[in-house]
Amino acid sequence: MRGFASAVRRCPRRCEKKLRWRRPRHTLKGRQIAGEVERVGLRLQLRKQQAEAEDIVLPYGDQSEALTHPYLARAWAKAGADLRVPAPGQAKKVAILGSLDHVTRQLIVHTSRTKRSSDFVAHLEQLDRLYGPRPGQPTKPVVLVEDNGPIHTSKLSLAALAARAHWLIVEWLPKYAPELNDIELVWHDLKAHHLAHQTFVGIDAALTRSTGRSTKPWMNSMQNARCFRWPNHESLPRRYPP
């Protein structure tokens, strides 16, 4: 089998046959309930129309993490170059809980050393300050899109959501359907463009890089406010060879 693979890579006619040497990727589609994914996808399309008409606020919520060891991503290099990134010691991580506003592209993040229900409640308190009811001011309904992760469905989290039911509605995503959550694009961009190929001396350095100042103008407000505007995925920079 190894000899056959080597022969395929050396085959001079593979381009003429429109063949490429590729690596397969994992897929969750075999674990999805197709009807449920389609139903929720249609509901989210309607929710987006409501948000764009300024009838509701539509944040997409999820959690991720930043590591002191480097994330590895594709990079251009000279042929034959040996690309290696140092990864000394034991990797440490910091949890990042965030919500991405569909219309304004504002990303609100809460960082913690843990990823627990109490951290999710702390993130809900951030949403309170931004979208919660205020005396003498009109309040838009907020539809928070979340998956069925354990920190979202614990007793503590459900009680916190129930206490906000008069202004906050949760749109639960079906299992194994990350493609329905717009914030997944943010986490991908963070790891592929801002944390990739970098080794951090400590967790504070990784935290500063993932949620602090950056050369990107739309990340400059992250240092103190813990929120910034993230562009639509169509406007994210594309990587071309130098």
What contacts 24+ positions apart, CB below 8 Å, involve 114-120? 115/63, 115/65, 115/151, 116/151, 117/151, 117/154, 117/155, 117/156, 117/157, 118/156, 119/95, 119/151, 120/63, 120/151, 120/152, 120/157, 120/160
Quick one: which of 50, 48, 32 has its CA closest to 182? 48
- The pLDDT of residue 70 is 72
What structural domains does the chain harbor? 28-71+89-231 (3.30.420.10)
Averaged pLDDT, 139-166: 96
Specify the amino acid at residue 89: G
Mean pLDDT of all residues in the chain?
Answer: 78
Mean pLDDT of 11-22: 64
Is residue 74 pLDDT above 70, yes or no?
Answer: yes
- % of the chain residues with pLDDT over 70: 74
Q: How many Cα atoms sit within 13 Å of 133 on the Cβ side?
A: 9
Residue 180: left (phi > 0), alpha (psi -120 to 50), or beta?
alpha
Has residue 62 got a pLDDT over 70?
yes
Tell me if residue 24 falls in helix, strand or coil.
Answer: coil
Using a pLDDT cut of 90, give the percent of the chain over it. 41
Within 10 angstroms of residue 115's Cβ, the number of other Cβ atoms is: 18
Q: Tokens 């948000």 — which residue? A: 51
Quote the pTM value. Answer: 0.73
- Supply the pLDDT for residue 205: 54
Cα–Cα distance measured from residue 162 to residue 124, given in angstroms and rounded to the nearest whole number:
12
**Whether the Cβ atoms of residue 94 and residue 115 lie closer than 8 Å to each other:** no
E strand segments, the chain: 59-67, 93-101, 106-112, 142-146, 168-172, 227-229
Range of lowest pLDDT (125-129, 147-151, 193-197, 200-204): 200-204
Residue 206's pLDDT band, with cuts at 50, 70 and 90, is low
**Residue 140: what pLDDT?**
93
Residue 210 pLDDT: 54
Distance CA 122, CA 160 (A): 10
Q: Quick check: 66 and 207 in contact, CB under 8 A?
A: yes
Q: What is the DSSP letter of 137?
A: B
For residue 96, give the amino acid letter.
I
- pLDDT category at 202 given cuts 50, 70, 90 is low
pLDDT confidence band for 233 (50 / 70 / 90): very low
